[in-house]
């Protein structure tokens, strides 16, 4: 039999959504708890003082206060959710086009590109030395961490997180000629439940890390200033520990982005034809014809280019 807590959590999950609960509301609860402790310490109070003050309220007063606190936390979580995509894009490396940030983006992009090139040089060295297993392992790591070599010059981003997600975007384009940005929104509703659950779980892990990163950075920026202005230097130093948490969240986001990118690759490998069947289009037997069909679909969705509903004939191979 379900406990009251399980029933409550189940109801909250149905109303708010499990992704919202885990990826947004839970980090907000952690940040709110830390902020509450910092506020108590700044006013020379202890959690025991807060508990005694709470016990002075009647049962109905405690219930109303708890409801208001809960509503406030949910509202704060929704505000965070509104800024989640802009925060993610900022962490990916899509920065405002100012003179300072353009220069920083250019330098960091070149640094990321140099790391990728050095990695591929090492792959070639390993293969030339006969260490094919090591070379193949390193190549697989590079393909999940950076855009593929043909796209490296124009497709590299200034951050490691952005390049992991960009690598996943390029995978279907390189393999099948699919523009992932265009097709993904149309393909995902057609996925079977198991694939949807795997993608959702991977994206929830990524969103959780991003939320924790953003809140930790905000906590480690705001509270030290507030506490220093109040003359609490020791407490201000303690709140700076939020920055190691932010660093750990950033590392977790890189792992989560890699896992999410892998799930995206699997979806295109196994389920890309679901969209063609849903559109009542014949699945081409020839890989070259399939690439042309996907390109025609992308042009139809992006530029309203008339779509005939059948793949164009692939060009004949050039006779040497």
pLDDT digits (tens, 9 = 90+) for 268-304: 999 999 999 999 999 999 999 999 999 999 999 888 8
- Together in a domain, 121 and 167: no
Does residue 199 belong to any structural domain of this protein?
yes
**DSSP H helical segments within 191-284, as ranges?**
193-229, 233-239, 242-271, 273-278
- Together in a domain, 144 and 19: no
Torsion angle, CA of 287/186/146/123, rounded to 10 degrees? Answer: -30
- Together in a domain, 123 and 34: no
Farthest CA pair distance, the chain: 91
**Mean pLDDT of the 165-172 span:** 96
Residues 16-47 have pLDDT tens digits of: 578 888 899 999 999 999 999 898 888 888 88
**Mean pLDDT of the 252-263 span:** 97
Domain of 46? 4-93+159-303
CA–CA separation, 209 and 245 (whole Å) = 10
Half-sphere exposure of 47 (CA within 13 A, CB side): 6
Can you say whether the dihedral through the CA atoms of 265, 267, 273, 275 is positive or negative?
negative
Residue finishing a domain among 116, 134, 158: 158
- Together in a domain, 76 and 119: no
Q: What pTM value is reported for the model?
A: 0.86
CA–CA separation, 4 and 9 (whole Å) = 9
CA–CA separation, 203 and 235 (whole Å) = 35
- Together in a domain, 107 and 208: no
- Together in a domain, 192 and 295: yes
Give SS3 for 281. Answer: coil
pLDDT of residue 16: 59
- Together in a domain, 169 and 293: yes
- Together in a domain, 143 and 164: no
- Together in a domain, 277 and 241: yes
- Together in a domain, 121 and 53: no
Kindly report the CA angle at 131 between 126 and 135, in degrees rounded to 5? 55
Of 55-69, 78-92, 298-312, which one has max mean pLDDT? 78-92
pLDDT of residue 6: 37
Q: Binning pLDDT at 50, 70 and 90, where does residue 107 land?
A: very high
Closest CA to 293 of 168, 69, 279, 162: 279
* HEC secondary structure over 16-65: HCHHHHHHHHHHHHHHHHHHHHHHHHHCCCCHHHHHHHHHCCCHHHHHHH
Does residue 315 belong to any structural domain of this protein?
no
Residues 192-209 have pLDDT tens digits of: 999 999 999 999 999 999
Percent with pLDDT over 70 in the chain = 91
Does residue 309 belong to any structural domain of this protein?
no
Closest CA to 189 of 291, 271, 281: 271
- Together in a domain, 171 and 267: yes
Kindly report the CA angle at 103 between 98 and 105, in degrees rounded to 5? 90
Does residue 319 belong to any structural domain of this protein?
no
Does residue 316 belong to any structural domain of this protein?
no
Residues 210-233 have pLDDT tens digits of: 999 999 999 999 999 999 988 889
- Together in a domain, 200 and 58: yes
Domain count, the chain: 2
| Tokens found for residue 163 | 């390049």
Q: Work out the end-to-end distance of the chain between its first and last CA atoms, rounded to an integer number of angstroms.
A: 74
pLDDT at 318 over 70: no
Residue finishing a domain among 115, 137, 158: 158
**Mean pLDDT of the 123-148 span:** 93
Does residue 317 belong to any structural domain of this protein?
no
Does residue 200 belong to any structural domain of this protein?
yes
Residue finishing a domain among 142, 158, 174: 158
CA–CA separation, 238 and 247 (whole Å) = 16
Torsion angle, CA of 23/25/31/32, rounded to 10 degrees? Answer: 180
Does residue 311 belong to any structural domain of this protein?
no
Rounded to 5 degrees, what are φ and ψ at 3? -80, 170
């Amino acid at each position: 039999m379900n406990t009251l807590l399980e029933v409550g959590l189940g109801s909250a999950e149905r109303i708010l959504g499990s992704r919202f609960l885990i990826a947004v509301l839970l980090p907000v609860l952690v940040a709110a708890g830390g902020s509450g402790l910092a506020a108590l310490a700044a006013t020379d109070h202890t959690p025991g003082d807060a508990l005694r003050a709470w016990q002075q309220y009647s049962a109905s007063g405690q219930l109303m206060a708890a409801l208001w606190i809960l509503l406030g936390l949910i509202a704060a979580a929704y505000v965070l959710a509104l800024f989640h995509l802009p925060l993610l894009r900022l962490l990916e490396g899509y920065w405002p086009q100012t003179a300072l940030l353009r220069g920083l983006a250019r330098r960091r992009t070149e640094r990321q590109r140099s790391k990728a090139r050095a990695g591929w040089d090492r792959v070639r060295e390993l293969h030339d030395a006969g260490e094919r297993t090591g070379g193949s392992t390193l190549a697989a790591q590079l393909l999940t961490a950076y855009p593929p070599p043909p796209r490296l010059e124009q497709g590299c981003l200034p951050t490691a997180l952005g390049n992991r997600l960009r690598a996943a975007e390029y995978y279907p384009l390189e393999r099948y000629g699919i523009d992932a940005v265009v097709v993904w929104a149309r393909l995902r509703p057609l996925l079977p439940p198991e694939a949807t659950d795997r993608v959702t779980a991977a994206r929830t892990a990524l969103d959780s890390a991003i939320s924790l990163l953003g809140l930790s950075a905000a906590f480690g920026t705001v509270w030290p200033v507030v506490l220093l202005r109040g003359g609490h230097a020791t407490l201000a130093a303690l709140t700076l520990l939020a920055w190691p948490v932010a660093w750990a969240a950033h590392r977790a986001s890189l792992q989560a982005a890699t896992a999410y990118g892998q799930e995206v690759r699997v979806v295109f490998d196994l389920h890309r034809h679901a969209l063609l069947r849903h559109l009542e289009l014949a699945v081409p037997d020839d890989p070259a014809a399939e690439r042309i069909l996907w390109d025609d679909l992308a042009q139809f969705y992006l530029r309203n280019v008339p779509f005939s509903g059948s793949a164009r004939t692939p060009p004949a191979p050039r006779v040497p």
